[in-house]
Structure 1
């Protein structure tokens, strides 16, 4: 038996990167998947790739800033496959030009990020949970971020929205656990998605690698495999947790790499 045989999964932001990796792995392990994305053509192409590999996949348009669009994506999934047992709330936005420090942040950007990064998680869960109750249970997985656990010089709204996702995950798990619905989060560090590879310079990547405990960066499949585990019954006694998948970037005293370099010079 495959790890998620006969489960039905809706993956938001599933056309590329972490979302597509998760959709592909879930389908490979027996789930029926729906890829929901603002990029309609990208979602169709992703679903086609999965079907070409022998999986079962469909696609649907999703505007995560619109309540009606989120509801429609959930209803499409249930209509397509009869039920919904896995929801991966994966859509997220960031903007380094507008999401700055507290004094200089664009307040419209604050509202936009709270709407897409946080409210979409709430709405996706709200519309999925009644179907999961009918199915006898399910697994909700929320993409948080290590930005939700730390402070930074910019991306104040992004970090605040992701911290809220971490706690919303706990609230969802608390409120619907007796219905056999689990809710967990994944907090990625720097992951080399296509977007990250195209937008981050080698100098920036080198800074991140310097502070990783491991000597390499994360790949989309590192998050995808974590989501697969949380979607499967292998994690049936895990709920309300946010798993940090970040290569040990945040585990050490921040001065450790510099002191190591200093000792090697002595």
Structure 2
């Protein structure tokens, strides 16, 4: 208990999945938390759950595609709790029906994803940093993705936007480190959020299982605990980094599962 005692955190995209897990963990460890989400009912319900468990939290509406809404979230946090020392830029969009390969993707979808996935990170940081400087420092954590490091057959805009988040994280860390502001990212692989569990068929999960180094899939708390660490003073000498939380899915030579299968066949012969 108390790993982020006395800190004030704004968590965007906090009504479900990774954001919800992170908000609960931050509050459990002593932070005062503002949960901001387009689903304001979900954010308010989650905040009530935190209060019922003895934490300090409030929910609010956020449209991460609108600059004024992002500023309002930061201003509300400062008005509610007097400061902001942790910002978790977690909102992100993806659309498998429109975000295709470079030739066939919907260009309006490209603009939409760049606006929400990248610009919201820029704006959240832009509005929070002056308050963090006044408070003597802070920690900004951005949700990137393994799609920002590895290419895929589709989701061109999503991957490019998350690569931008990875490098923007470095820029913020470089520009404001002397103000005692750290900025880091977390890059999830496949995480079994409720949305993933409801939408991914078993065949897709089996493919990920084949290539994961670990014998299980990630859960929202796996990202939440990483964010908690980056928000805490335990990570006070870490900045500009994006931690890959992906179960070892991308670390091995991609032929390893196939060679294992061949070896298994040879052993049976």
Scaled by the length of structure 1, the TM-score of the pair is 0.99
CA deviation after TM superposition for structure 1 residue 234, in Å: 0.2
Deviations 1:33-53 (A, max 9, x none): 000000010000010111111
Instruction: Name the counterpart of 2:185.
Output: 185
Deviations 1:137-184 (A, max 9, x none): 000000000000001000000000000000000000000000000000
- Number of matched pairs: 266
SS in 2 for 1:163: helix
SS in 2 for 1:140: strand
Instruction: Name the counterpart of 1:2.
Output: 2
Instruction: Name the counterpart of 1:194.
Output: 194
Deviations 1:65-97 (A, max 9, x none): 000000000000000000000000000000000
CA deviation after TM superposition for structure 1 residue 248, in Å: 0.1
SS in 2 for 1:80: helix
Instruction: Name the counterpart of 1:146.
Output: 146
Instruction: Name the counterpart of 1:216.
Output: 216
SS in 2 for 1:158: helix
Structure 2 unaligned blocks of 5 or more: none
Instruction: Name the counterpart of 1:79.
Output: 79
Tell me, yes or no, if structure 1 residue 159 matches structure 2 residue 162. Answer: no
CA deviation after TM superposition for structure 1 residue 194, in Å: 0.5
Instruction: Name the counterpart of 1:107.
Output: 107
For residues 148 and 68 of structure 2, what CA distance do their matches in structure 1 show?
Answer: 27
For residues 47 and 205 of structure 2, what CA distance do their matches in structure 1 show?
Answer: 31
For residues 206 and 54 of structure 1, what CA distance do their matches in structure 2 show?
Answer: 40
SS in 1 for 2:260: helix
Instruction: Name the counterpart of 2:133.
Output: 133
Deviations 1:184-231 (A, max 9, x none): 000000000001011100110110111000000000000000000000
Structure 1's consecutive aligned runs of 4 or more residues displaced over 3 angstroms after TM superposition are none
Instruction: Name the counterpart of 1:68.
Output: 68
For residues 194 and 50 of structure 1, what CA distance do their matches in structure 2 show?
Answer: 19
Structure 1 unaligned blocks of 5 or more: none
Deviations 1:93-126 (A, max 9, x none): 0000000000000000000000000000000000
Scaled by the length of structure 2, the TM-score of the pair is 0.98
CA deviation after TM superposition for structure 1 residue 60, in Å: 1.0
CA deviation after TM superposition for structure 1 residue 57, in Å: 0.3
For residues 112 and 237 of structure 1, what CA distance do their matches in structure 2 show?
Answer: 35
For residues 51 and 259 of structure 1, what CA distance do their matches in structure 2 show?
Answer: 52
Instruction: Name the counterpart of 2:37.
Output: 37
For residues 265 and 51 of structure 1, what CA distance do their matches in structure 2 show?
Answer: 56
